[in-house]
């Protein structure tokens, strides 16, 4: 399939004040797209907006909690009011968690579902009429943790697995409307300083520096996301380890169980 250009397209990227979302916004803008960036922290989002504008890119920043219907609706409405159309929606916003299931407070379970699942569903629902008119793209940013449930991050895995079901359903439901649906499974990625995860009691933990763990850079992930949009691909698993994980789950599920059971304490130590 021939590649499409992003030149002149309007892209909405959730969770784009840092990390993968910021890198994706930068890459799209560098290729001529108009970008709408989003986050919940105003000062960080403003810094990203200024950084993009100083480079000469067309950008709109919208502070909104898109895990709520009101926040997601406002994000999409501001994109339409400012640029007049939406061609690309990147559902990137999300949060990881820590803790064995039996230890996790109920409010943490609800918060994770709200952020990682509703934070994708609400923007997608609001953007669909506009994406239909432009034959646009919806991309869900998932994780290799959404391929197989893992100890210590079970609720995070569950929310990322849910995105697969949504993407698969939408691909079929929207097949007659020329809307591209894609889902990318991201491996361990370098994190910005200050990146946090939700602990089992609802408090926040600073994520450890991952540079020594054979990570991808946000820029590498951004390139994969933009390539997916241009080629209108459906599923993409990043990193060799991620691909091996997916293959092993199909061919050797009992072996995967055994390895994870033997490794669960080591995994827990890595996550704390």
User: What are 113-163's pLDDT values in tens digits?
Assistant: 999 999 999 999 999 999 999 999 999 999 999 999 899 999 999 999 999
Q: For residue range 151-196, what is the model confidence (pLDDT) as tens digits?
A: 999 999 999 999 999 999 999 999 999 999 999 999 888 877 778 8
**53 pLDDT above the threshold of 90:** yes
Res 2: pLDDT: 58
**Residue from 57, 100, 130, 156 carrying the catalytic annotation:** 156
Helix, strand and coil content of the chain, in percent to the nearest 5, comes to: 50, 15, 30
Whether 156 is a known active-site residue: answer: yes
What residues pair up with 141 in beta bridges, in sequence order?
184
Q: Is residue 115 within 8 Å of 71, Cβ to Cβ?
A: no
* Least confident stretch, 73-82, 101-110, 183-192: 183-192
User: Which one has a higher pLDDT value, 260 or 80?
Assistant: 80
Res 212: pLDDT: 52
Give DSSP secondary structure letters for 108-169.
HHHHHHIIIIIHHHHHHHHHHHHHHHHT-EEEEEEEGGGTS--TT-HHHHHHHHHHHHHHHH
Give DSSP secondary structure letters for 228-243.
HHHHT-SEEE-SHHHH
Q: For residue range 200-221, what is the model confidence (pLDDT) as tens digits?
A: 999 988 877 655 556 899 999 9
Give DSSP secondary structure letters for 170-206.
HHHHTTTTT-EEEEEEE-SB---TT-EEE-TTS-EEE
Coil, strand or helix at 100: coil
Confidence of residue 76 (pLDDT cuts 50, 70, 90): very high
What residues pair up with 62 in beta bridges, in sequence order?
38
- Please tell me the distance from the alpha carbon of residue 218 to that of residue 19, in angstroms, as a whole number: 6
List, in order, residues 6 or more apart from 51 with CB less than 8 Å away.
none
Query: What is the fold of 10-270?
Result: Rossmann fold (3.40.50)
Q: For residue range 1-45, what is the model confidence (pLDDT) as tens digits?
A: 557 899 999 999 999 999 999 999 999 999 999 999 999 999 999
Res 213: pLDDT: 59
- Does the pTM surpass 0.85? The reply is yes
- Please tell me the distance from the alpha carbon of residue 168 to that of residue 187, in angstroms, as a whole number: 20
* Least confident stretch, 19-33, 64-78, 232-246: 232-246
* Least confident stretch, 46-50, 170-174, 248-252: 248-252
Res 214: pLDDT: 66
User: Which one has a higher pLDDT value, 262 or 59?
Assistant: 59
In the chain, where the domains are located: 10-270
Res 246: pLDDT: 87
């Amino acid at each position: 399939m021939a590649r499409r250009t992003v030149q002149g397209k309007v892209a909405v990227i959730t969770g784009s004040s840092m990390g993968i979302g910021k890198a994706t916004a930068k890459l799209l803008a560098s290729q001529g797209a108009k970008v709408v960036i989003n986050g919940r922290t105003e000062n960080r989002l403003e810094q990203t907006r200024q950084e993009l504008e100083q480079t000469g890119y067309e950008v709109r920043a919208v502070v909104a909690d898109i895990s709520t219907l009101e926040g997601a609706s406002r994000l999409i409405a501001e994109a339409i009011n400012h640029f007049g159309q939406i061609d690309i929606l990147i559902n990137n916003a999300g949060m990881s968690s820590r803790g064995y299931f039996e230890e996790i407070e109920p409010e943490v379970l609800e918060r994770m579902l709200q952020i990682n699942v509703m934070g994708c569903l609400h923007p997608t629902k609001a953007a669909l009429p506009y994406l239909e008119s432009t034959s646009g793209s919806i991309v869900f940013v998932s994780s290799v943790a959404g391929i197989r449930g893992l100890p210590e991050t079970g609720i995070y895995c569950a929310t990322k697995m849910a995105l697969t079901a949504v993407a698969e359903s939408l691909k079929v439901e929207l097949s007659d409307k020329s809307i591209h649906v894609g889902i990318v499974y991201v491996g361990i990625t370098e994190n910005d300083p200050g990146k946090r995860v939700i602990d089992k009691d609802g408090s926040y933990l600073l994520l450890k520096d991952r540079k020594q763990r054979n990570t991808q850079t946000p820029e590498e992930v951004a390139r994969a996301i933009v390539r997916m949009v241009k080629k209108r691909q459906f599923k993409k698993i990043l990193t060799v380890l991620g691909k091996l994980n997916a293959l092993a789950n199909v061919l050797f599920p009992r072996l995967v169980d055994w390895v994870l059971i033997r490794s669960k304490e080591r995994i827990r130590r890595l996550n704390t």
